[in-house]
Amino acid sequence: MRKILFLILSISLNCFAQNPDIQIQNAFPNINVDFPVVLTHAGDNTNRIFLASLYGKIYVFPNDSNVSVSQKKIFLDIVNLARYDGEMGLLGIAFHPNYTSNGYFYVNYNNVNDGRTTISRFSRSVGDPDKADSLSELKLLEIYQPYDNHKGGQMMFGADGYLYIGMGDGGNQGDPGNRAQNKDTLLGKILRIDINNTSGGNNYAIPSDNPFAISGGAKEVYAYGFRNPWRFSQDPVTGLIYVGDVGQNNYEEVDILQNGRNYGWHITEGFHCYNPSSGCDTSGITMPIKEYNHTGGNCSIISAGVYRGQRRPELTGAYIYGDYCSGKISMLRYTNGVVSQDSMLIDTPNLIISFGMDQNNEMYCLAQNGNIYLFNKSTLATNVNVSVIPDGLYDDVNNRLNIKDSVKIYLRDNASPYSIIDSASGILDSLTFTAPVIFNRALTGNYYIEVKHRNSLETWSSSQVNYTVAVNTNYNFTSSVTQAYGSNMILKNGKWCIYSGDINQDGFINGNDFTFYSAQFGSTGYLASDLNGDGIVNGNDFTIFSNNYTKGTVRP
């Protein structure tokens, strides 16, 4: 996470904004914990909540909204073992899959003496299931930390039975030691170890299929190139592991964890070059499935996981993530390698530290004010299907887009200053030219529809569109030039397309865009200057740019 703000709030803030689109509640009104970082369960069917504080205590209490303060018990106290400078403290806990029989659980904390990451096993008390044996510590790993930030902290047991451990790059700003790319270090990595066996004098063994189990790097490394994978989790249905990797200056990212992959840091930040800032070599790097930038107060992704609970069935199978600074909570769906239905669920006024799940797979938000909040059913979710063609991507011979690509759809107020009422991201299908999105905040009314594509001109609907909550809405820009405000589109083989070439997204296709194009010329990858989507910036993209030169956005 970013540098933690150790700030006592002078007013009480709810984790969720009181918008009419969602019903929310404080899950445990009588429970408040200083800086909660982990909420989980023991997998023992006792329906208890285990809640960890950054400051070295793990609490346990019944999963009951009426739970009293007296029912909150201290399960483990390691206050005197951990260090609390910067982003250090008690950062992660994970219960052994056979906890019911062996009573083992694992803790990730920074050692009080020098801040080194310490991965230890503790045991449940023999006489009291609500208490751990504080003298049972068995240290598995101790990892030197050069600075006081970027510690990672997440631990989980995968479906394979191995323990996964998230390690940040160790700080400080930009990974000056290139630790994330150095396969011989454990920093900037996700580790995987076998805690059911021992080997080589360690209190753990190395899974035989770890990428460097034999040679080539540190044996514990499962994947590398991370900046600060604060939270990650595995979908119990698909088996996919979603990682939220906290970005540096501009971009946050979501990755799908795979054995032996390099996720780019500090060569890349999201889809973009970081070091060097342009022309970086991205060969061998696995790109994220999602990035978002730091506009709107965003600063630090907090990965929640895939929703498999019952309270919000419309979210089943959706990956949920939040942002520490902006308080926004969003969702996306990832199917067959494609992201869809990428939209914001809730705009909260709080600092979101983490998320957690109970034994029923219900999801909770952990806020810096010490409260725990529960997701409830939305009442305003509405499907909107927008059909639009960026002309650079359009293959008018075969009547399809060269690639599927993301667009951002906005609902705008019908009067000046045309404020944003709601927004959502979607994926344009390459054959139907349609991006399905879900809006969760807008009330029934008349709104302009605005569409933005990463290198095309922002385009508005020609007039206000009738929008009714819970009723599907369709809008097709491609059918007629009059579907766009000011008829600001280009005709290609019977299809009306929005103008491509606004590479810097300032609303004009001009020399400033050419500067971006020139800097990326010859580069490969998912780049803004690649107007036709063929994976390389070359003369074909310049042809598209020059054809649309001097065009600009037309809006009310």
pLDDT in tens, 187-196: 999 999 999 9
Residue 11 has pLDDT above 80, yes or no: no
3-state secondary structure of 295: helix
- The reported pLDDT for the residue numbered 526 is 83
* Range with the poorest average pLDDT among 251-255, 339-343, 452-456, 499-503: 339-343
Closest by Cα among 463, 459, 453 to 528: 453
User: What percentage of the chain carries pLDDT values higher than 70?
Assistant: 95
pLDDT at 454: 93
Query: Looking at the DSSP assignment, which residues form a beta bridge with residue 264?
Result: none
Average pLDDT on 11-16 reads: 32
Residues 543, 103: Cα–Cα separation, whole Å: 66
Confidence grade of residue 406 (pLDDT, cut at 50, 70, 90)? confident
Helix/strand/coil percentages in the chain, nearest 5: 5, 40, 55
In this structure, are residues 498 and 456 in contact, taking their beta carbons and an 8 Å threshold? yes
> What are 171's strand-pairing partners?
none
Q: Is 150 exposed, middle or buried (0-12, 13-18, 19+ CB in 10 A)?
A: buried
Residue 420, pLDDT > 60, answer: yes
Q: What gap in Å lies between CA 505 and CA 234, rounded to an integer? A: 36
- Confidence at 337, pLDDT banded by 50, 70, 90: very high
Dist CA 397 CA 408 (whole Å):
27
Q: Per-residue pLDDT for 9 more than 50?
A: no
- pLDDT confidence bin for 23, thresholds 50/70/90: low
- Dist CA 191 CA 551 (whole Å): 50
Q: Evaluate the omega torsion of the peptide bond into residue 29 and state whether it is cis, within 30 degrees of 0.
A: no
pLDDT over 60 at 205, yes or no: yes
CA separation for the pair 393, 403 (Å, rounded): 7
Kindly list the distances between the CA atom of residue 447 and the CA atoms of 60, 342, 456, in Å, as whole numbers in the listed order.
48, 20, 22
- Indicate the average pLDDT of the chain: 92
pLDDT at 15 over 80: no
- pLDDT score at 18: 30
Residue 458 has pLDDT above 70, yes or no: yes
**DSSP H/E element including 18:** none
Q: Which helix (DSSP H) or strand (DSSP E) does residue 482 occupy? A: none
Contacts of 518 (CB under 8 A, 6+ apart): none
Domains contained in the chain, CATH given: 25-374 (2.120.10.30), 382-547 (2.60.40.4130)
Average pLDDT score over residue span 112-119: 97
Task: Establish whether the linkage from the previous residue to 538 is cis, with ω within 30° of 0.
Answer: no
Query: 132 or 13: whose pLDDT is higher?
Result: 132
Give, to the nearest 10 degrees, the angle between helix 539-547 and helix 511-520. Answer: 170
According to the model, what pLDDT value does residue 180 have? 98
- Entry pTM: 0.70
> What does the pLDDT read at residue 554?
98
- Determine the pLDDT at residue 24: 61
Beta-bridge partners for 367: 352
User: What's the rounded mean pLDDT across residues 495-500?
Assistant: 98
Closest residue by Cα to residue 485 from 554, 398, 412, 537:
554
Q: How far is residue 63 from each of residues 39, 48, 95, 98, 548, measured CA to CA in Å?
A: 11, 5, 17, 21, 60
Angle, CA of 358, 128 and 164, to the nearest 5°? 45
